[in-house]
Homo-oligomer: A and B are copies of this chain.
Amino acid sequence: MPQNKYTQIYYVLKKRIESGEYPVGYLLPSENTLIEEFECSRNTVRRAIAGLVRDGYVQTRQGRGVYNIFHPLEPSAYTMGTIESFVESTRRTRQSSATRVILFSECTADDELAQRTGFAPGTALFYIQRLHEIDGIVRILNHNYFRRDCLPGLTPQLAEGSVYHYLEAELHVSIVTSKRTITVEKATPLDRKWIDLGEYDCLAVVSNQTFNSDGVMFEYTQSRHHPAIFRFQDNAVRRASQTDREYSR
């Protein structure tokens, strides 16, 4: 349970929006009204609203108010903004899932790999290939590179489960930032060996640099998705003169 006041308010407002308590296309109660209701400061209400803006629920306009722009959407494999592991994602969408390790090796970053992944040349790495099954069908082929010094004791058995869970629960390392790039690539023989692409000849490719709380990039992953099950959602806010946001985390 979130104990932050602004997080609680965020959830209350979000629930009201989703349930239709606030009509779509109209203004939410003003900040001052919400301040009275939640008995808090202006700052706190505004932080809650900021979260709703970020997540595409509302939109603010100076002098007017806060518009409800909620439109229900189909749930998807990937959800905007968040860093979600494969296991978390399938659990949320109530799909059955399994992970299989097809390669577990160690390597050192040469210049080419360093260029491609962002690791410094010479970094000692695990290189793992994993398959993800959704409802019994192989849908994702992952190429994972982990810094060996950040994952002492990683074994093929552990890699069958959620590596993120291992990191957070066992090593008490928290994942903070993730830089993603989405592209579309032609299928390779390896892709075809494991994934039944049917009539497709491309995959959706998500390349991912992940940073732990020490600010070190400890993972580079390339996730190759069957195009039919790939879906990525995102909200963007046009900023006045580039950035207009406040705060973050």
Q: Chain A residues in contact with chain B, CB under 8 A? A: 1-4, 6-7, 10-11, 25, 46-47, 49-51, 53-56, 59-61, 67-69, 71, 73, 76, 81-83, 118, 174-186, 199-204, 209, 211, 213-217, 227, 230-249
Contact = CB atoms under 8 A, between A and B. Distances in A.
A247 B56 CA distance: 13
25 contacts: A2-B242, A4-B244, A7-B243, A7-B244, A11-B242, A25-B216, A47-B247, A50-B245, A50-B249, A51-B243, A51-B245, A60-B248, A60-B249, A61-B215, A177-B235, A179-B234, A180-B235, A182-B231, A183-B231, A200-B202, A201-B202, A232-B232, A237-B249, A245-B248, A245-B249
B175 A243 contact: no
A177 B236 contact: yes
A246 B5 CA distance: 12
A230 B82 contact: no
Contact of A179 (B209, B233, B238): B233
B241 A249 contact: no
A4 to B, nearest CB: 8
A171 to B, nearest CB: 15
A241 B68 CA distance: 24
Contacts of A71: 118, 179, 209, 217
A39 to B, nearest CB: 19
A29 to B, nearest CB: 15
